[in-house]
Structure 1
Amino acid sequence: MAQRTVAIFVDAGFFIRNFTNIADPDMSAEPQQLAKAMWHYWIKHVDRKNNEELYRIYFYDCPPLSHKAHHPITNQLIDFSKSNITQYKNALHEVLLHQPYVACRVGHLSLTDNEWGFIRKDKTHNFNKLIRGDVDPKEINPDNVSLRPRQKGVDMKLGIDIASVVLKKLANKIVLISGDSDFVPAAKLARIEGAHFILDAMGRTVKGDLSEHIDGLKTFKNKITKF
C-alpha cells in the first residue's frame, strides 16, 4: 500500500470553541493540559495502521486582545493585556509551539466596530433573549462579556498554505478542521492536484459549496472527553 502523507490545518477560532465546549466548559484546564488534549485530537486524523504519516499541523489564530476599553456594563476601564483570558491564550500559544509537528500561523485582530459579546453563551447570556426582554440585564455577568474583534489575515494564510503544501507535493492528504465555506478554492485546488481533502466540521452542518468539493467528512467529536 502506498504511503500517504497528511497535513492538518486547524482554524483555531472554530476548533477551540467547539472543543472546549465539550472538554472544558468550565474553563478550568491548564494551558498545558488543553494543548496536549487538542494535539491528541488532531493526530487522530492520521491513520498509521493504513500507512499514513503526519507531515505537519498548521494552527491558525490571532494574538489575544492587548489594548484598553471601557466595559459596556460596568463602564470600568479594562486593560485587556492584563486580563486572565489574554494571559491564558498567550500561554496556550506558547505550549502549542512546543508540541511536535505544530506550526502556528498568526493573523491580527480588527477592532474597527468595537463589538462586544458573550464569551460563553447559556440561558442567561444570550443576545437574542436579552434584546427580547426575556433576560434581566442585572443577571448578566460582566466577566462573561468581552470585545469580539474580527480576525484578519487568518483565512488567507490558511488557503495559501494549503496551496503551497499541495503544489510542492509535501502532503497528499489534507485535513481541514473548520466550518468556513470560504475555503472552497483551496479544496478544489487540492483535489485537482491529486490530494485527498477531508473536512472535520466538528459535527456542524457544512454550508455553501464546500460540501461539494471535499472527499469526505471525518470528525472525532464523539471521542472528546471532559477534563
Structure 2
Amino acid sequence: MKNVAVLIDGGHVRVLARNAGMNYNPDYIEKIAKACVEPDEDAFRFFYYDCAPYSGTIKLPVSAEPKTFAGSDAWLRELAAKDLFAVRLGVLKFRGFKPKKILPAGQAVTDNDFKADFEQKGVDMRIGLDIATFCASKAVDRLVLLTGDTDCIPAMKYARIAGLQIVLVGFPNRAASNEMLCHADIERRVAWPAQ
C-alpha cells in the first residue's frame, strides 16, 4: 500500500468541473478527491488550496458608485470539517476592471460593460510549501496533484529528487499538460464522479 496525499488546486479544478457541467460544492470536491485515490493507495490527507470569495467595497469604473462584494466562505469551512481534509487559503485580490467586449465606436460606456478582475495570490506557494514539507517528513510515498499551474514544477522536481512519486491527474475534458507531465512519474486519468 502506498501512502498518498492528494493536493487539489481549487481554482483549476473548479473551472474544469463547471465546464463539464458539474455542480461544484464541498460534497462533490470530496468525491473528486476520493476518485483520485487508487485501490492500492491509502489516503493520508486531502489538501484543498483556494481563496475565500472576495469581500470588500470597490468603486465602479464609470459611475464611481460603490459596489460591495460580500462573499461567504461557509463552503470552505464545510469542506475543512470533512474527514481527512485540510484547506489552505490564499488571498483573492481585486485588480480593477476588464471590458466584457469591445464596444462599437461612439457607443456610450456604462458600468455594465465591465467585469471585476480578481487574482488569486499565494495558492501555488502554499502547494509548493506542502510538497517541500512532505519531502522532509516522508509522511507519504506519493503525491497526487490536481493542478495545471506550471509554477508547481520546481516543487515537483524537488519531490522527485527527494524520492517521492508524483501523480498528475487529468480529467476527460482536460488532460494534464505535456510541460507538467515531464516532471511527473505517473499520469492518472480520472472520470468525473457522478453527482
TM-score by length of 2: 0.83
Task: State the Cα RMSD in Å.
Answer: 2.9
Aligned residue number for residue 102 of structure 2: 131
Encode CA deviations 1:95-151: one digit per residue, 9 max, x unaligned: 10111111111111233x31447xxxxxxxxx5xx3286xx999xxx5x97422221
- Which runs of 5 or more residues in structure 1 are unaligned? 118-126
Change (3 A) 1:219 1:74: farther
Letter in 1 for 2:102: I
* 1:215 has 2:185 as partner: yes
Distance 2:15 2:62 in 1: 24
Is residue 179 of structure 1 aligned with residue 179 of structure 2? no
1:10-159 equivalence runs, <5 A: 10-24=8-22, 34-48=25-39, 50=40, 52-72=41-61, 76-81=65-70, 86-87=71-72, 90-111=73-94, 113-116=95-98, 127=100, 130-131=101-102, 146-159=115-128
Q: Which secondary structure does the structure 2 equivalent of 1:107 belong to?
A: strand
Structure 1 residues 92 and 187: alpha-carbon distance in aligned structure 2, compared to 1, 3 A threshold? same
- Which has the larger share of helix? 1
After TM superposition, give the deviation of residue 39 of structure 1 in Å: 0.6
- 1:109 aligned partner, one-letter code: L
Greater fraction strand: 2
Q: Displacement, 1:73? A: 7.2
Which residue pairs with 1:4 in the alignment?
2
Residue 195 (structure 1) aligns with: 164
Unaligned runs of 5+ in 2: none
The amino acid that maps onto 1:45 is C
Matched-pair identity in %? 25
- State the number of aligned residues: 191
Runs of 4+ in 1 over 4 A off after TM superposition: 72-76
TM-score, normalization by structure 1? 0.73
Residues 22, 224 of structure 1: 8 Å contact kept: no
Cα deviations by residue, 1:153-206 (Å, 9 ceiling, x for unpaired): 111111010110122111111011011111111111211122210112432451
